[in-house]
Chain A
Amino acid sequence: MKKSLIYIEQNHFQNSMDLLEVVRQVYDAEEYETYGVSFGASCDEAEGLFDYLIEVPDQRIRSYDVINMTNVLEELQGFYHFDSILFPATQLGRMLAPRTAMRLHVGLVADVTAIRHKNGFVEMVRPAFSGKIMAGIVNRNRVPLMMSVRQNVFSYQGASQKQTEKIKYSPIRIEDRKIELIEVREKEKTRDIRESEILISGGGGTGRYFPKLKHLADELNAQVSASRKTVDSGTAPRSMQVGQSGKTVSTKLYMALGISGSLQHMEGLKNVENIVSVNTNRDAPICSRSDIVVEGDAEEFIERLTDKIKWEKQSRE
């Protein structure tokens, strides 16, 4: 019986649950048990999904204190001998995973986007070179198998019907905290672009009239997103960025205005259903992936399509 531990991050609950799908793919037909570990608040929502839920209610361990969290994971590994430990590739997960892997003297694969089986080995696939190349990586026979998993790529469909056993764990070794949270400031109140069904996205070609994208977005009840170029030039905030170094989106419609479609950008679009692109160059890379290519100036297009939608709306009222 294989044992797998998933680090449950409270602030990224769904992404943590989706790691159950990764475990399922890793063990395939083999029998396995799933353990979830969470720090701080209890995670009752995960009940029924895991075989075991380990809670670490110790007030001395803050949910950002990576050093003490590593201490706990090391202790847990000593008790349970997990065959694999998985982390969501969040800000915190991506700091906790490498520290824990180093502590346990095992290899680690970052930002996994697919699991394959190759000659009896589990092959973890991840993007490299900003998503321009995919690399398959195997672990050299050390236990546990460790990886961080790219957010929003896997999705767990299993029902919550397990008899979850809850375990309260009291850590043995806790160090003095070397880091203190002073304040948290929310980023400007925009919805997460990953939650939008339609995205109106502006690339380097939109430049100074990037704010106009909002007009079209409002008509379509959509959100505005951006390419890396737009973000790097300071026109759009990083939270809007689509692509390998930004966010992976799974919208139904993606309108790419003045976006050429670098590979790192396309990596963020792999779950997008429909693409309409507007570009002065009809042979731009994104055009090969588009349903419709509008050859021409994006600023003009925004005005025309916005007017058209408004006009159609009025004439139907």
Chain B
Amino acid sequence: MKIMCLVKFTPDVENFIYDYEKNVLVRENVRMILNPDDASALAFALKIKNRRPETSIEIITMAPQSVIPHMEDLLRLKVDKATLISDKLYVGSDTYITSRILGKYLSSVAYDCILTGTGAMDGDTSHVPSQLGELLNICQMSNVVEIEEETFGSESAVIEVDEERNFAKYKICMPAILSLQKVRNYKLPYIKYEDLERNVKDQITIIDNETLGFESNQVGISGSLTQVSGTFVKIMEKKDKRVVRNDSEGINTVYQFLRDKGFV
């Protein structure tokens, strides 16, 4: 069985710092991490491979070549192959174009399932998995929290989906695109000690536009159908806060506030 894992490396946005005095976001020196939802998807794939060693896993990412060290770390987790789709022409592509680029590669290869994350920490549009579903003419489901392992690999898989108010169970035809949510039961393992320095360079394939063959005006910023017209950091409203201590006087102040506002 061949599993494709679509992953993305994002800045670790949790560590952005907001400077309230200057009203700016400090974005410098933020490290790149594997997008958490994607990590769950890969963790599930590795779980399957562990049970059925004949499984082959390919990770695919579209990024600048600077992500190669991160891809190498994933290969050291017993991923079979890594494909990096990278070309200067692709820089600035919106979700529509990104899906077209990834779709062109994916439609040229054989697979039994595509696993990915529901949302990415940076853009968080969740567009690409659904748009790829359309391009490849297969089902796609977001916020998958569990895949029944014994059904995975047959004609249709049974999956559990977090639908805000409910959990729903579906039977979905394969191949499909399953977008996982970050869940605790699918956690990436650590790299084994003996694999830490393993040379995995020959398992990486870089695919550029020479292979995929888009016209330069079809991709990147010029090909995109949406355009960022500006970004801004939200001005956080500052209140005239009162600071009290955690003593009976402080508690009285809080209680009086609750009374004045009609909460008690």
- Which residue on chain A has the smallest CB distance to residue B259? A312
How many whole Å from B141's CB to the nearest CB in chain A? 7
**A173 CB within 8 Å of chain B:** no
Interface residues of A in 173-210 (CB under 8 A from B): 178-187, 192, 198
Asked if A103 contacts B134 (CB within 8 A), the reply is yes
Asked if A178 contacts B139 (CB within 8 A), the reply is yes
Asked if A102 contacts B242 (CB within 8 A), the reply is no
- Of A95, A99, A295, most B-chain CB atoms within 10 Å: A95
Asked if A130 contacts B14 (CB within 8 A), the reply is yes
**A101 CB within 8 Å of chain B:** yes
Q: How far does the alpha carbon of A97 sit from the alpha carbon of B130 in the complex, in Å?
A: 9
Binary A-proximity of B21-48 (CB < 8 A = 1, otherwise 0): 0000100000000000000000000000
Asked if B255 contacts A312 (CB within 8 A), the reply is yes
A residues near B14, Cβ cutoff 8 Å: 130, 262, 264
Chain A interface size band reads 35 or more
Q: Using known A-B contacts A130-B121, A140-B227, A182-B158, determine if residue A198 contacts B239 with beta carbons closer than 8 Å.
A: no
Asked if B236 contacts A289 (CB within 8 A), the reply is yes
How many whole Å from A85's CB to the nearest CB in chain B? 14
**A72 CB within 8 Å of chain B:** no
**A252 CB within 8 Å of chain B:** yes
- Which residue on chain B has the smallest CB distance to residue A151? B164
Q: How far does the alpha carbon of A96 sit from the alpha carbon of B134 in the complex, in Å?
A: 10
Q: How far does the alpha carbon of A264 sit from the alpha carbon of B171 in the complex, in Å?
A: 34
Residue from A244, A289, A295, A308 within 8 A of B255 (CB atoms): A308
Q: Is the interface of A mostly helix, strand, loop or mixed?
A: mixed
Q: Using known A-B contacts A238-B162, A294-B244, determine if residue A111 contacts B171 with beta carbons closer than 8 Å.
A: no
B residues near A136, Cβ cutoff 8 Å: 228-232
Asked if A181 contacts B231 (CB within 8 A), the reply is no
Residue from B18, B96, B233 within 8 A of A101 (CB atoms): B96
**Which of B52-60, B66-74, B82-90, B245-253 contacts the other chain?**
B245-253
**B116 CB within 8 Å of chain A:** no
A residues near B261, Cβ cutoff 8 Å: 252-253, 274
- Which residue on chain A has the smallest CB distance to residue B222? A140
**A47 CB within 8 Å of chain B:** no
B residues near A91, Cβ cutoff 8 Å: 142-143, 161-164
Q: Using known A-B contacts A130-B13, A312-B264, determine if residue A142 contacts B225 with beta carbons closer than 8 Å.
A: yes
B residues near A11, Cβ cutoff 8 Å: 165
Interface residues of A in 238-254 (CB under 8 A from B): 238-239, 244-245, 252-253
**A34 CB within 8 Å of chain B:** no
How many whole Å from B110's CB to the nearest CB in chain A? 19
**A167 CB within 8 Å of chain B:** no
Asked if B166 contacts A134 (CB within 8 A), the reply is no
Asked if A294 contacts B254 (CB within 8 A), the reply is yes
Binary B-proximity of A227-244 (CB < 8 A = 1, otherwise 0): 000001010001100001
How many whole Å from B134's CB to the nearest CB in chain A? 4
Q: Is the interface of B mostly helix, strand, loop or mixed?
A: mixed
Residue from B127, B169, B253 within 8 A of A185 (CB atoms): B169
Q: How far does the alpha carbon of A288 sit from the alpha carbon of B240 in the complex, in Å?
A: 8
Asked if A135 contacts B228 (CB within 8 A), the reply is yes
**A291 CB within 8 Å of chain B:** yes
**A38 CB within 8 Å of chain B:** no
Asked if A90 contacts B164 (CB within 8 A), the reply is yes
**A51 CB within 8 Å of chain B:** no
**B124 CB within 8 Å of chain A:** yes
Q: How far does the alpha carbon of A103 sit from the alpha carbon of B100 in the complex, in Å?
A: 12
B residues near A135, Cβ cutoff 8 Å: 228, 230-231
Q: How far does the alpha carbon of A245 sit from the alpha carbon of B127 in the complex, in Å?
A: 16
Asked if A295 contacts B224 (CB within 8 A), the reply is no
Asked if B134 contacts A99 (CB within 8 A), the reply is yes
Q: Using known A-B contacts A181-B169, A252-B261, determine if residue A138 contacts B124 with beta carbons closer than 8 Å.
A: no
Q: How far does the alpha carbon of A192 sit from the alpha carbon of B131 in the complex, in Å?
A: 31
Interface residues of A in 84-108 (CB under 8 A from B): 90-91, 94-99, 101-103, 105-108
Residue from A96, A106, A133 within 8 A of B232 (CB atoms): A133
A residues near B188, Cβ cutoff 8 Å: none
A residues near B254, Cβ cutoff 8 Å: 276, 292, 294, 305
**Interchain Cβ contacts under 8 Å between A and B, 5 examples:** A91-B142, A91-B163, A129-B11, A184-B163, A294-B244
Question: Told that A252-B261, A253-B263 touch, could you supply 19 new A-B pairs with CB distance under 8 A?
Answer: A70-B134, A95-B142, A98-B130, A99-B130, A107-B226, A110-B125, A127-B124, A130-B121, A133-B232, A179-B139, A180-B171, A182-B158, A182-B169, A183-B168, A220-B264, A263-B18, A274-B261, A289-B239, A292-B241
Task: Enumerate chain A interface residues (CB-CB to B < 8 A).
Answer: 11, 64, 66-67, 70, 90-91, 94-99, 101-103, 105-111, 118, 121, 123, 127-130, 132-140, 142, 178-187, 192, 198, 220, 232, 234, 238-239, 244-245, 252-253, 262-264, 266-267, 274-276, 278, 282, 285, 287-297, 300-301, 304-305, 308-309, 312
The 7 closest A-B pairs by CB, nearest first: A296-B246, A107-B225, A98-B130, A107-B226, A110-B125, A178-B173, A102-B134
